[in-house]
Protein backbone atom coordinates (compact mmCIF):
# COMPACT_ATOMS: atom_id res chain seq x y z
CA UNK A 1 0.00 0.00 0.00
CA UNK A 2 1.29 3.44 -0.91
CA UNK A 3 1.20 6.37 1.49
CA UNK A 4 -0.56 9.51 0.31
CA UNK A 5 1.85 12.46 0.68
CA UNK A 6 0.89 14.86 3.44
CA UNK A 7 1.49 17.76 1.03
CA UNK A 8 -1.18 16.35 -1.29
CA UNK A 9 -3.67 16.28 1.56
CA UNK A 10 -2.95 19.97 2.14
CA UNK A 11 -4.00 21.04 -1.36
CA UNK A 12 -6.84 23.64 -1.34
CA UNK A 13 -9.37 21.50 -3.24
CA UNK A 14 -9.73 19.10 -0.30
CA UNK A 15 -10.73 21.96 2.01
CA UNK A 16 -14.17 21.94 0.41
CA UNK A 17 -14.39 18.45 -1.12
CA UNK A 18 -13.46 16.35 1.88
CA UNK A 19 -10.92 13.53 2.01
CA UNK A 20 -12.93 10.39 1.16
CA UNK A 21 -11.12 9.89 -2.15
CA UNK A 22 -7.74 10.59 -0.56
CA UNK A 23 -8.41 8.08 2.18
CA UNK A 24 -9.24 5.40 -0.41
CA UNK A 25 -6.32 6.28 -2.69
CA UNK A 26 -3.89 3.58 -1.44
CA UNK A 27 -6.46 0.86 -2.20
CA UNK A 28 -7.35 2.47 -5.55
CA UNK A 29 -3.70 2.54 -6.59
CA UNK A 30 -3.17 -1.06 -5.53
CA UNK A 31 -6.22 -2.20 -7.52
CA UNK A 32 -5.13 -0.31 -10.64
CA UNK A 33 -1.64 -1.77 -10.44
CA UNK A 34 -3.23 -5.23 -10.39
CA UNK A 35 -5.43 -4.44 -13.41
CA UNK A 36 -2.49 -3.25 -15.48
CA UNK A 37 0.15 -5.66 -14.13
CA UNK A 38 2.22 -2.87 -12.62
CA UNK A 39 4.45 -2.75 -9.59
CA UNK A 40 5.15 0.44 -7.62
CA UNK A 41 8.68 1.76 -8.08
CA UNK A 42 9.10 4.80 -5.86
CA UNK A 43 7.34 7.45 -3.86
CA UNK A 44 4.25 9.13 -5.33
CA UNK A 45 4.31 12.68 -6.63
CA UNK A 46 1.38 15.05 -6.99
CA UNK A 47 0.10 18.34 -8.27
CA UNK A 48 -2.95 20.09 -6.88
CA UNK A 49 -5.52 17.60 -8.22
CA UNK A 50 -3.83 14.30 -9.13
CA UNK A 51 -1.26 11.87 -7.82
CA UNK A 52 1.32 10.07 -9.96
CA UNK A 53 2.87 6.84 -8.76
CA UNK A 54 6.15 5.66 -10.35
CA UNK A 55 5.59 2.10 -11.57
CA UNK A 56 7.18 -0.56 -13.73
CA UNK A 57 5.61 -2.94 -16.22
CA UNK A 58 8.33 -5.49 -16.76
CA UNK A 59 11.42 -3.32 -17.10
CA UNK A 60 9.55 -0.33 -18.52
CA UNK A 61 9.24 2.71 -16.25
CA UNK A 62 5.87 4.45 -16.39
CA UNK A 63 3.73 6.82 -14.35
CA UNK A 64 0.33 5.84 -12.96
CA UNK A 65 -1.78 8.98 -12.65
CA UNK A 66 -4.90 8.87 -10.47
CA UNK A 67 -7.57 11.55 -10.25
CA UNK A 68 -10.83 11.87 -8.27
CA UNK A 69 -14.24 11.04 -9.74
CA UNK A 70 -15.83 13.93 -11.59
CA UNK A 71 -12.58 15.40 -12.88
CA UNK A 72 -12.49 16.12 -16.61
CA UNK A 73 -10.53 12.97 -17.31
CA UNK A 74 -12.19 12.31 -20.66
CA UNK A 75 -11.03 15.73 -21.84
CA UNK A 76 -7.47 15.02 -20.68
CA UNK A 77 -7.48 11.69 -22.50
CA UNK A 78 -8.77 13.36 -25.66
CA UNK A 79 -6.09 16.06 -25.46
CA UNK A 80 -3.27 13.57 -24.96
CA UNK A 81 -4.52 11.41 -27.82
CA UNK A 82 -4.82 14.47 -30.03
CA UNK A 83 -1.26 15.72 -29.48
CA UNK A 84 -0.01 12.12 -29.39
CA UNK A 85 3.37 12.94 -27.88
CA UNK A 86 4.05 16.05 -29.98
CA UNK A 87 5.38 18.22 -27.17
CA UNK A 88 3.29 16.32 -24.62
CA UNK A 89 3.71 13.22 -22.46
CA UNK A 90 2.65 10.05 -24.27
CA UNK A 91 -0.50 8.26 -23.11
CA UNK A 92 0.14 4.52 -22.80
CA UNK A 93 -3.29 3.45 -21.48
CA UNK A 94 -6.44 5.00 -20.02
CA UNK A 95 -9.13 3.76 -17.66
CA UNK A 96 -11.64 6.58 -17.30
CA UNK A 97 -13.98 4.50 -15.13
CA UNK A 98 -11.30 4.29 -12.44
CA UNK A 99 -9.75 7.74 -12.98
CA UNK A 100 -6.43 6.26 -14.13
CA UNK A 101 -3.91 7.08 -16.83
CA UNK A 102 -0.72 5.21 -17.60
CA UNK A 103 1.87 7.63 -18.91
CA UNK A 104 5.36 7.80 -20.33
CA UNK A 105 7.87 8.24 -17.53
CA UNK A 106 9.18 11.78 -17.01
CA UNK A 107 11.53 13.28 -14.46
CA UNK A 108 8.99 14.56 -11.94
CA UNK A 109 11.76 16.26 -9.95
CA UNK A 110 12.60 18.62 -12.84
CA UNK A 111 10.05 21.02 -14.26
CA UNK A 112 10.57 24.34 -16.00
CA UNK A 113 9.86 25.91 -12.62
CA UNK A 114 13.32 24.72 -11.57
CA UNK A 115 15.06 26.74 -14.30
CA UNK A 116 15.83 30.45 -14.04
CA UNK A 117 13.52 32.70 -16.04
CA UNK A 118 16.19 33.39 -18.66
CA UNK A 119 16.10 29.69 -19.59
CA UNK A 120 12.49 28.81 -18.78
CA UNK A 121 10.69 31.63 -20.61
CA UNK A 122 12.04 30.93 -24.12
CA UNK A 123 11.40 27.20 -23.68
CA UNK A 124 7.78 27.64 -22.63
CA UNK A 125 7.26 30.17 -25.42
CA UNK A 126 8.54 27.70 -28.01
CA UNK A 127 6.34 25.03 -26.42
CA UNK A 128 3.27 27.21 -26.94
CA UNK A 129 4.13 27.48 -30.61
CA UNK A 130 4.91 23.76 -30.97
CA UNK A 131 1.48 22.77 -29.68
CA UNK A 132 -0.19 25.09 -32.19
CA UNK A 133 -1.20 22.49 -34.76
CA UNK A 134 -4.60 22.40 -36.51
CA UNK A 135 -7.25 21.69 -33.86
CA UNK A 136 -9.90 18.97 -34.19
CA UNK A 137 -13.48 19.90 -35.00
CA UNK A 138 -15.86 20.73 -32.21
CA UNK A 139 -13.31 22.01 -29.68
CA UNK A 140 -14.34 25.00 -27.58
CA UNK A 141 -12.68 28.27 -28.56
CA UNK A 142 -10.59 30.66 -26.49
CA UNK A 143 -13.00 33.42 -27.49
CA UNK A 144 -15.93 31.56 -25.96
CA UNK A 145 -13.94 31.11 -22.77
CA UNK A 146 -13.06 34.81 -22.60
CA UNK A 147 -16.62 36.05 -23.12
CA UNK A 148 -18.17 33.55 -20.74
CA UNK A 149 -15.75 34.58 -18.01
CA UNK A 150 -16.14 38.30 -18.68
CA UNK A 151 -19.92 38.10 -18.49
CA UNK A 152 -19.58 36.97 -14.86
CA UNK A 153 -17.10 39.63 -13.76
CA UNK A 154 -19.44 42.55 -12.88
CA UNK A 155 -21.51 40.38 -10.53
CA UNK A 156 -18.45 38.79 -8.93
CA UNK A 157 -16.74 42.17 -8.64
CA UNK A 158 -19.73 43.46 -6.69
CA UNK A 159 -20.04 40.30 -4.57
CA UNK A 160 -16.35 40.52 -3.63
CA UNK A 161 -16.61 44.13 -2.48
CA UNK A 162 -15.08 45.77 -5.57
CA UNK A 163 -11.50 44.46 -5.23
CA UNK A 164 -10.29 46.59 -8.15
CA UNK A 165 -11.31 50.00 -9.42
CA UNK A 166 -14.28 50.36 -11.75
CA UNK A 167 -12.11 51.82 -14.55
CA UNK A 168 -9.72 48.86 -14.26
CA UNK A 169 -12.65 46.42 -14.44
CA UNK A 170 -13.97 48.24 -17.51
CA UNK A 171 -10.55 47.99 -19.13
CA UNK A 172 -10.40 44.25 -18.41
CA UNK A 173 -13.87 43.79 -19.88
CA UNK A 174 -12.74 45.62 -23.00
CA UNK A 175 -9.72 43.35 -23.33
CA UNK A 176 -11.82 40.20 -23.00
CA UNK A 177 -14.42 41.36 -25.49
CA UNK A 178 -11.71 42.21 -28.01
CA UNK A 179 -10.69 38.54 -27.90
CA UNK A 180 -14.14 37.13 -28.72
CA UNK A 181 -13.02 36.23 -32.25
CA UNK A 182 -9.68 34.37 -32.15
CA UNK A 183 -7.03 35.61 -34.56
CA UNK A 184 -6.11 31.99 -35.30
CA UNK A 185 -9.41 30.13 -34.82
CA UNK A 186 -8.20 26.73 -36.04
CA UNK A 187 -5.05 26.30 -33.97
CA UNK A 188 -4.83 23.99 -30.94
CA UNK A 189 -4.17 25.61 -27.57
CA UNK A 190 -3.18 24.16 -24.21
CA UNK A 191 -5.38 26.09 -21.77
CA UNK A 192 -3.47 24.98 -18.67
CA UNK A 193 0.15 25.65 -19.57
CA UNK A 194 2.61 26.90 -16.98
CA UNK A 195 6.10 26.05 -15.77
CA UNK A 196 5.14 23.24 -13.39
CA UNK A 197 3.24 21.53 -16.22
CA UNK A 198 6.36 21.09 -18.34
CA UNK A 199 8.60 18.27 -17.08
CA UNK A 200 12.00 17.01 -18.15
CA UNK A 201 11.71 13.97 -20.39
CA UNK A 202 13.88 11.24 -21.81
CA UNK A 203 12.35 11.00 -25.28
CA UNK A 204 12.56 14.81 -25.56
CA UNK A 205 14.11 17.40 -23.22
CA UNK A 206 10.79 18.92 -22.09
CA UNK A 207 7.22 17.61 -22.33
CA UNK A 208 3.85 18.99 -21.28
CA UNK A 209 1.62 17.13 -18.82
CA UNK A 210 -2.13 17.50 -18.17
CA UNK A 211 -2.97 19.55 -21.27
CA UNK A 212 -6.42 21.13 -21.68
CA UNK A 213 -7.38 21.37 -25.35
CA UNK A 214 -8.97 24.50 -26.77
CA UNK A 215 -8.71 26.13 -30.18
CA UNK A 216 -7.94 29.73 -31.04
CA UNK A 217 -5.40 32.19 -29.67
CA UNK A 218 -2.34 30.31 -28.51
CA UNK A 219 -1.38 33.12 -26.12
CA UNK A 220 -4.40 32.21 -23.99
CA UNK A 221 -2.47 31.31 -20.82
CA UNK A 222 0.29 33.93 -20.82
CA UNK A 223 -1.16 35.50 -17.69
CA UNK A 224 -0.69 32.31 -15.70
CA UNK A 225 2.87 31.97 -16.99
CA UNK A 226 3.66 35.46 -15.70
CA UNK A 227 1.87 35.38 -12.36
CA UNK A 228 3.28 31.98 -11.47
CA UNK A 229 6.79 33.49 -11.31
CA UNK A 230 6.03 37.16 -10.93
CA UNK A 231 7.97 37.54 -7.68
CA UNK A 232 11.18 36.56 -9.52
CA UNK A 233 10.78 38.87 -12.47
CA UNK A 234 11.84 42.23 -11.03
CA UNK A 235 10.36 45.67 -11.51
CA UNK A 236 7.56 46.69 -13.86
CA UNK A 237 9.90 47.26 -16.81
CA UNK A 238 11.39 43.81 -16.30
CA UNK A 239 7.95 42.15 -16.25
CA UNK A 240 7.12 43.83 -19.56
CA UNK A 241 10.43 42.54 -20.88
CA UNK A 242 9.53 38.96 -19.91
CA UNK A 243 6.24 39.24 -21.76
CA UNK A 244 8.22 40.39 -24.79
CA UNK A 245 10.43 37.29 -24.47
CA UNK A 246 7.33 35.07 -24.52
CA UNK A 247 5.84 36.95 -27.45
CA UNK A 248 9.01 36.53 -29.48
CA UNK A 249 9.52 32.85 -28.63
CA UNK A 250 5.89 31.92 -29.34
CA UNK A 251 5.63 34.23 -32.40
CA UNK A 252 2.64 36.16 -31.06
CA UNK A 253 1.06 39.55 -31.65
CA UNK A 254 2.18 41.64 -28.71
CA UNK A 255 -1.03 43.62 -28.15
CA UNK A 256 -3.21 40.53 -28.37
CA UNK A 257 -0.86 38.80 -25.93
CA UNK A 258 -1.24 41.75 -23.54
CA UNK A 259 -5.02 41.46 -23.70
CA UNK A 260 -4.83 37.77 -22.84
CA UNK A 261 -2.65 38.55 -19.82
CA UNK A 262 -5.30 41.00 -18.61
CA UNK A 263 -8.20 38.65 -19.32
CA UNK A 264 -6.70 35.61 -17.61
CA UNK A 265 -5.36 37.64 -14.68
CA UNK A 266 -8.84 39.07 -14.06
CA UNK A 267 -10.43 35.62 -14.15
CA UNK A 268 -7.90 34.20 -11.71
CA UNK A 269 -8.10 37.25 -9.46
CA UNK A 270 -11.81 36.65 -8.90
CA UNK A 271 -11.42 32.86 -8.69
CA UNK A 272 -8.69 33.18 -6.09
CA UNK A 273 -10.50 35.73 -3.95
CA UNK A 274 -13.64 33.59 -3.95
CA UNK A 275 -11.56 30.73 -2.49
CA UNK A 276 -9.74 32.75 0.11
CA UNK A 277 -6.38 32.90 -1.67
CA UNK A 278 -4.16 35.90 -0.95
CA UNK A 279 -0.85 35.72 -2.81
CA UNK A 280 -1.93 34.96 -6.39
CA UNK A 281 -4.76 37.53 -6.43
CA UNK A 282 -2.22 40.22 -5.48
CA UNK A 283 0.02 39.09 -8.35
CA UNK A 284 -2.91 39.17 -10.76
CA UNK A 285 -3.81 42.68 -9.66
CA UNK A 286 -0.25 43.80 -10.35
CA UNK A 287 -0.50 42.38 -13.88
CA UNK A 288 -3.75 44.26 -14.42
CA UNK A 289 -2.13 47.54 -13.42
CA UNK A 290 0.80 46.78 -15.72
CA UNK A 291 -1.03 45.63 -18.84
CA UNK A 292 -4.61 46.91 -18.84
CA UNK A 293 -5.53 49.75 -21.17
CA UNK A 294 -5.14 53.06 -19.41
CA UNK A 295 -8.58 54.69 -18.88
CA UNK A 296 -8.88 58.13 -20.42
Which residues are identified as catalytic?
A: 192
98, 258, 262, 264, 288 from 175: Cα distances, Å: 41, 9, 7, 10, 11
The values of phi and psi at residue 139, to 5°, are -80, 140
SS (H, E, C) the chain: CCCCCHHHHCCCHHHHHCCHHHHHHHHHHHHHHHHCCCEECCCCEECCCCEEEEEEECCEEEEEEECCCCCCHHHHHHHHHHHCCCCECCEEEEEHHHCEEEEECCEEEEEHHHCCHHHHHHHHHHHHHHCCCECCCCCCEHHHHHHHHHHHHHHHHHHCCCCCCHHHHHHHHHHHHHCCCCCCCCEEEECCCCHHHEEECCCCCEEECCCCEEECCCCCCHHHHHHCCHHHCCCHHHHHHHHHHHHHHHCCCHHHHHHHHHHHHHHHHHHHHHCCCCHHHHHHHHHHHHHCCCCC
Angle at 252 between CA 248 and CA 256, to 5 degrees: 130
Q: Which of 47, 58, 191 is nearest to 106 (CA)?
A: 47
Amino acid sequence: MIEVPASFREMPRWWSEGTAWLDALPMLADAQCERWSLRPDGSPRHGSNAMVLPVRRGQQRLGLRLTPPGDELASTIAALRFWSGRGTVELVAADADHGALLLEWLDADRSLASLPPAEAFPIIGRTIRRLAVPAPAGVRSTGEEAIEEADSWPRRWSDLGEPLSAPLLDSALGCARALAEPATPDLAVDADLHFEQVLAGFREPWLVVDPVLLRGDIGYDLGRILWSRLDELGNDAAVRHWLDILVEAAELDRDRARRWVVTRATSYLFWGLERGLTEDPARCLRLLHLFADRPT
